[in-house]
């Protein structure tokens, strides 16, 4: 079974993406079940790989039996299996939420069984692309998966119709530019070293260290992936994309998409290219851009009146925080970055499912639309509250622990960058306090009558969210609570793999 | 001091937390809902009492450590200071709960389920603050306390009240983030950041870094303790229902802040290091300024509860003052003042609440004649008022006397003068209340004492205060706990020991 799992993890979603629309066209009713079963199977494969890598060490899998450096290799260590677990887990929730349909804007085309099947297929394709990025050990193959995931994401973003299509087009422009820059960078690397395999690349880089082309390659790769990771000031595509994406897809895209690109940055800059001078400089710059992003994202989130747009800006702040951790590169910082990826993915997914659903059902995205929801749907709102508190970093939610690690790492790093990061993270918590408590206060302590444009047509008391959204919201909130407290075993397993990985690469360098 | 690993500290902290969900679920059955509160209160009190004998014997119950962060476990430890605060809060929680039942029902307030749930969570968090064994555990409980109290403060839900709630959160959450930064920093300097009598930071970093750290930590705990100029939220928070204000001042939020200042000065930095860094005198001056400023402000306040609030601002700075001076007697006095102020201030707030429940009056100038109509309530109020001023035979005297002696040990004569002036100011703003209530003729003959639910708690608290004033070592032996807490700090700072305990 251990031999089969790596192939299954990447193949299942890709094959499923083709099968589910077929099922939808032929059998109609079983689409949901088929999609959910597939996602559950992918999650099980990810879980199996995680355990297996934890118990017996990292797994190297040669695709088609062609070993590296000539063939494509997949590589499953603590780090990649952790992110795979996150992606596959979030996908299960997203698939559940897809039952809600993309019909929040009245501009969305009417849902038909085939359309539903195609959207579910797109989600599977997206998952397949992301898992591929996470697993692959080949820099060109990574580009292929990057494009697969991007194309699937454009489809999902555009499925809302109306302004969603514009947002999707904008995302497409940014994503294509990012992919091209990355590809150029890989081209330079290949021309320099004649290899695409990451391990091989790391071993050969020291011999071309003096070449100026290496600097160009590193910068191209860093800029390309930073666009996808929404590193400030390359974040322009993010707010509109997150806001106009239909709710079920938004919960998934906002949760994991940028993070997988941040993971790719960590792999390439933090591990493969870490030994190069250009790589070190880029990582240093990344800390400062991260600091700028943390502050700018927070400030702009405070300025937003619409809840989903506020959530989108808060994501830019969070991505800045993750990239600060990636840039610092110490064990503490990487733990913090990984932890924040998980904490932010769970909490932001929960909030986007919730806020998107409320926006669709209450006909508005303003904070005032949240007035009185606390008494109408206490459990849902309690779940959203937990997620919001995690975003602020209140203990004992997961967000507190990730901030703790990142703050410790900043102090340990010292120097101007460390101090700036420390101050920025504290400041971002304060800003998050302002913009999240504004929403929570409305939800729990205001009545709809307080709202300026209160109208008599407000919905009668009853559930705020339909089940397809309420279940992910509550489930994710529970995970947010548990992750923080029970994360030590994960961390114990992930970090040594990372450290031995970087140590091995620096040992191979002559 | 030997440690006994046991689950009792967890029980004390968990009791309140465990009933939050049952309370929320039994919203339709008020009797059951309130039963949960009393069960949890009894369990918490039982756990606290069961840990006392060990403390008397010089040992401490400590919970198993739950690894949360590298080198930073979640752990609770019932040392004398923590146990003092825990026992106090358990006793007063039970008293406040019974008062709350009467208060909410007689006024017919809405949202009672959420009220009792948040109350239980707040008290559990205060218990966690009391027993926290290290800075991280303290921080976690401290933040939970902040949030659990928010629904209580904004109970009335009007937009003015929500504004007060915002100012409460602005002060406490900003301070909480600074505290987070400082805790991380301290944890990096000294892994574990375990509270140690006499402090653990000596020599851990340069003087400049330690001073910055001190300021961050002080802002973190001082904003809850309402130290000037971070006191603005407290009078604003008087919009909360009276039992909430009572608990806020006597046990939970404000007192947790003052407790945090003691932990900071005695267990994180230690008197020695504070003197070496030149921090003691500025902190003492800050406390002195707060005492005088708040007393003067109270003189001019006609709103009953807000006058009590300014009195709290002033009284809690005695605790800060004791922590700043740092001699054993001053620390013991400060620790005992946690208890003394707890019983006295809760009495005063209960009385203010009873007046409101019986007559709907909120201003001191409207109290005329009520002393005769509500004799029990105002008798209790008299005890509380005189105790605050530090009249002998009441517990406020014991804390102030020891504070003064402790200050003299450190040759700080001005503190004695300050205590005298502050005592006079206390009389100046409390006695007029009694004068108006007792000697001015009333206009409404129909006013009667409210229900027994509302009369019994203040009378109980006042009687307890009298007992503590006559024998501070009665019952739970609060004085012994305060003294051994102070001694443990002094024992680790031998060269600083300028005065012995009697």
Going from N- to C-terminal start, the domains of chain B cover 2-496
What's B444's DSSP letter?
-
What is the Cα–Cα distance from A78 to A58, expressed in whole angstroms?
A: 7
Of B100, B55, B81, B140, nearest in space to B357 by CA: B100
Residue of A381, A384, A399 whose CA lies nearest to A317: A399
Whether residue B80 contacts residue B195, with contact meaning beta carbons closer than 8 Å, is answered with no
**How close B403 comes to chain A (CA, Å)?**
36
CA distance A164 to A109: 12
Q: Do B68 and A485 touch (CB under 8 A)?
A: yes
Q: What pLDDT does A510 receive?
A: 41
Interchain CB distance below 8 Å, A441 and B184: no
Tell me the C-alpha distance between B493 and B267, whole Å: 11
B-chain residues near A444 (CB < 8 A):
151
C-alpha pair distances (Å), B44 with each of B14, B65, B88, B329: 8, 20, 11, 30
Q: Which candidate from A394, A404, A447 shows the least CB-CB separation from B184?
A: A404
Give me B39's structure tokens.
Answer: 């069960």
Integer Cα distance of B331 and B271 in angstroms: 10
Per-residue pLDDT of chain A in tens (510 residues, 90 and over written 9): 667 888 888 889 999 888 888 888 888 778 888 889 999 999 999 999 988 888 888 888 888 888 878 888 888 888 888 899 999 999 999 998 888 765 554 556 667 778 888 888 999 999 999 999 999 999 999 999 999 999 999 999 988 878 888 999 999 999 999 999 999 999 999 999 988 988 888 888 888 888 888 899 999 999 999 999 999 888 888 998 998 888 888 899 999 999 999 999 998 988 888 878 888 899 999 999 999 999 999 999 999 989 999 999 999 999 999 999 999 988 888 888 988 999 999 999 999 999 888 888 777 788 888 888 888 888 888 999 999 999 998 888 888 888 988 998 998 888 899 999 999 999 999 999 889 988 988 888 888 764 444 444 455 555 677 888 888 999 999 999 988 777 776 666 666 666 666 665 555 544
- Whole-number Å distance between alpha carbons of A401 and A488: 10
Question: How far from each other are the two terminal CA atoms of chain A, in whole angstroms?
Answer: 37
Q: Which regions of chain B are under pLDDT 50?
A: 494-502
User: Nearest Cβ partner of A411 from B69, B180, B184?
Assistant: B184
Mutate to test the interface with B, among A367, A408, A435 (most CBs of B within 10 A): A408
Shortest CA gap B135–chain A (Å): 13
A446 contacts on B by Cβ (under 8 Å)? 157, 162
In chain B, % helix, strand, coil (3-state, to 5) comes to 75, 5, 20
pLDDT of residue B412: 86
> How close A395 comes to chain B (CA, Å)?
5
CA distance to partner chain B, nearest, from residue A392 (Å): 10
Handedness of CA A208, A209, A211, A214 (dihedral sign): positive
Q: Are B62 and B1 in contact (CB under 8 A)?
A: no
How many Å apart are CA B31 and CA B8, to the nearest integer? 28
pLDDT of residue A449: 64
Residues of A contacting chain B (CB within 8 angstroms): 332, 378, 389, 392-396, 400-401, 403-405, 407-408, 411-412, 422, 426, 429-430, 433, 437, 441, 444-447, 450, 485, 488
CB contact under 8 A, A401 and B188: no
Residues of A with Cβ-Cβ distance to B17 under 8 angstroms: none
* Chain A touched by B154 (CB under 8 Å): yes
How much is the pLDDT for B501?
A: 43
Non-local (6+) Cβ contacts of B461 within 8 A are: B92, B95, B343, B344, B346, B347, B350, B380, B384
- A404–B180: do the CB atoms touch at under 8 Å? yes
What pLDDT does residue B498 have? Answer: 40
Q: Yes or no: say if B409 and B283 are a contact pair by the CB < 8 Å rule.
A: no
- Give the number of A-B residue pairs with CB atoms closer than 8 Å: 70
Per-residue pLDDT, A497: 65
Nearest CA in chain B to A393: B177
Q: What is the DSSP letter of B440?
A: S
Partners of residue A488 in chain B, C-beta under 8 Å:
67-68
Give the model's pLDDT for residue A493. 67
Q: Is B165 on the interface with A (CB under 8 A)?
A: yes
Say whether residue B68 is in contact with chain A using an 8 A CB cutoff: yes
The answer to whether the beta carbons of residues B350 and B433 sit under 8 Å apart is no
For residues B313 and A253, what is the distance between their CA atoms, to the nearest angstrom?
50
| CB contacts, 8 Å: B118 with chain A | none
pLDDT at residue A454, rounded to an integer: 46
Round to whole Å and give the CA distance between B255 and B339: 10
């Amino acid at each position: 079974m251990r031999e089969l799992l790596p192939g299954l993890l990447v193949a299942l979603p890709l094959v499923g993406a083709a099968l589910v629309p077929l099922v939808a066209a032929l059998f109609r009713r079983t689409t949901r079940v088929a999609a959910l079963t597939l996602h559950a199977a992918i999650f099980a494969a990810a879980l199996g790989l995680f355990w297996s890598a934890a118990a017996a060490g990292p797994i190297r899998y040669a695709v088609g039996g062609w070993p590296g450096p000539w063939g494509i290799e997949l590589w499953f260590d603590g780090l990649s299996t952790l992110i795979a677990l996150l992606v596959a887990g979030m996908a299960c929730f997203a698939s559940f939420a897809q039952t809600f349909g993309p019909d929040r804007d009245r501009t969305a085309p009417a849902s038909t069984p085939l359309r539903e099947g195609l959207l579910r297929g797109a989600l599977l394709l997206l998952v397949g692309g992301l898992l591929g990025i996470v697993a692959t050990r080949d820099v060109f193959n990574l580009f292929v998966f990057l494009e697969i995931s991007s194309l699937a994401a454009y489809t999902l973003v555009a499925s809302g119709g109306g302004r969603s299509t514009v947002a999707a087009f904008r995302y497409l422009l940014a994503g294509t530019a990012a992919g091209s820059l990355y590809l150029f960078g890989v081209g330079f690397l290949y021309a320099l070293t004649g290899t695409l395999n990451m391990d091989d690349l790391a071993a050969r880089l020291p011999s071309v260290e003096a070449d100026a082309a290496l600097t160009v390659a590193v910068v191209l790769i860093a800029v390309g992936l930073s666009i996808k990771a929404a590193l400030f000031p390359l974040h322009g595509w993010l707010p509109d994309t997150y806001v106009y994406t239909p709710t079920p897809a938004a919960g998934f895209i906002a949760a994991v998409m940028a993070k997988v690109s941040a993971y790719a940055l960590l792999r390439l800059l933090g591990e493969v290219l870490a030994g190069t001078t250009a790589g070190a400089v880029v990582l240093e710059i990344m800390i400062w851009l991260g600091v700028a992003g943390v502050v700018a994202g927070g400030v702009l989130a405070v300025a937003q009146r619409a809840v989903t747009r506020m959530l989108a800006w808060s994501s830019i702040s969070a991505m800045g925080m993750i990239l600060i951790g990636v840039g610092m590169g110490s064990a503490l910082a990487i733990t913090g970055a990984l932890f924040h990826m998980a904490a932010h993915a769970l909490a932001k997914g929960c909030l986007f499912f919730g806020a998107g659903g409320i926006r669709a059902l209450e006909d508005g995205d303003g904070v005032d639309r949240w007035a009185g929801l606390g008494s109408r749907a206490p459990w849902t709102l309690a779940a959203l509250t937990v997620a919001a508190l995690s975003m602020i970093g209140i203990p004992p939610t997961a967000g507190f622990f990730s901030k703790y690690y990142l703050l410790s790492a900043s102090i340990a790093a010292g120097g101007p960058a460390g101090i700036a990061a420390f101050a920025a993270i504290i400041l971002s918590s304060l800003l998050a306090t302002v913009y999240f408590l504004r929403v929570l206060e409305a939800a729990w302590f205001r009545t709809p009558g307080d709202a300026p444009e209160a109208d008599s047509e407000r919905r009668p008391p009853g559930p705020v969210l339909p089940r397809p959204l309420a279940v992910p919201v509550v489930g994710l909130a529970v995970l947010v609570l548990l992750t923080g407290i029970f994360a030590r075993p994960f961390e114990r397993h992930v970090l040594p793999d990372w450290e031995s990985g970087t140590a091995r690469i620096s040992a191979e360098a002559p | 001091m030997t440690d006994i690993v046991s689950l009792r500290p967890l029980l004390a902290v968990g009791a309140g937390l465990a009933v939050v969900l049952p309370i929320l679920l039994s919203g339709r059955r008020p009797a059951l809902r309130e039963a949960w509160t009393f069960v949890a209160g009894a369990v918490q009190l039982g756990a606290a009492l069961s840990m006392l004998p060990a403390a008397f014997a010089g040992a401490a119950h400590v919970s198993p450590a739950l690894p949360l962060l590298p080198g930073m476990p979640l752990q609770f430890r019932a040392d004398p200071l923590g146990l003092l605060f825990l026992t106090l809060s358990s006793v007063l929680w039970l008293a406040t709960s019974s008062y709350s039942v009467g208060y909410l029902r007689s006024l017919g307030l809405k949202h009672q389920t959420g009220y009792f749930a948040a109350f239980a969570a707040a008290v559990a968090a205060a218990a966690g603050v009391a027993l926290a064994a290290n800075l991280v555990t303290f921080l976690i409980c401290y933040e939970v306390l902040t949030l659990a109290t928010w629904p209580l403060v904004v109970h009335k839900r009007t937009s003015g009240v929500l504004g007060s709630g915002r100012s409460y959160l602005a002060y406490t959450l900003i301070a909480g983030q600074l505290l987070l930064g400082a805790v991380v920093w301290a944890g990096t300097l000294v892994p574990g950041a375990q509270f140690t009598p006499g402090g653990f930071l000596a020599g851990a970093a340069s003087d400049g870094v330690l001073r910055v750290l001190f300021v961050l930590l002080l802002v973190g705990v001082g904003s809850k303790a309402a130290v000037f100029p971070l006191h603005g939220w407290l009078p604003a928070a008087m919009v909360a229902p009276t039992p909430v204000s009572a608990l806020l001042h006597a046990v939970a939020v404000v007192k947790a802040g003052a407790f945090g200042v003691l932990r900071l000065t005695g267990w994180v930095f230690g008197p020695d290091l504070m003197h070496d860094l030149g921090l003691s005198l500025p902190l003492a001056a800050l406390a002195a300024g707060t005492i005088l400023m708040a007393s003067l402000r109270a003189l001019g306040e006609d709103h009953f509860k807000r006058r009590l609030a300014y009195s709290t601002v002033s009284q809690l700075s005695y605790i800060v003052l004791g922590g700043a001076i740092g001699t054993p007697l001053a620390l013991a006095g400060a620790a005992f003042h946690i208890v003394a102020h707890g019983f006295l201030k809760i009495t005063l707030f209960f009385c203010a609440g009873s007046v409101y429940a019986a007559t709907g009056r909120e201003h001191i100038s409207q109290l005329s004649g009520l002393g005769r109509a509500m004799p029990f309530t105002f008798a209790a109020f008299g005890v509380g008022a005189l105790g605050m001023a530090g009249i002998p035979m009441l517990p406020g005297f014991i804390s102030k006397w020891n504070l003064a002696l402790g200050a003299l040990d450190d040759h700080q004569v001005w503190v004695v003068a300050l205590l005298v002036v502050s005592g006079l100011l206390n009389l100046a703003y409390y006695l007029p209340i009694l004068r108006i209530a007792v000697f001015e003729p009333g206009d409404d003959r129909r006013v009667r004492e409210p229900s027994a639910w509302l009369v019994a708690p203040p009378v109980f608290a006042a009687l307890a205060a009298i007992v503590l004033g006559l024998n501070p070592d009665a019952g739970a032996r609060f004085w012994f706990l305060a003294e051994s807490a102070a001694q443990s700090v002094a024992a680790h700072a031998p060269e600083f020991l300028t005065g012995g305990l009697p």
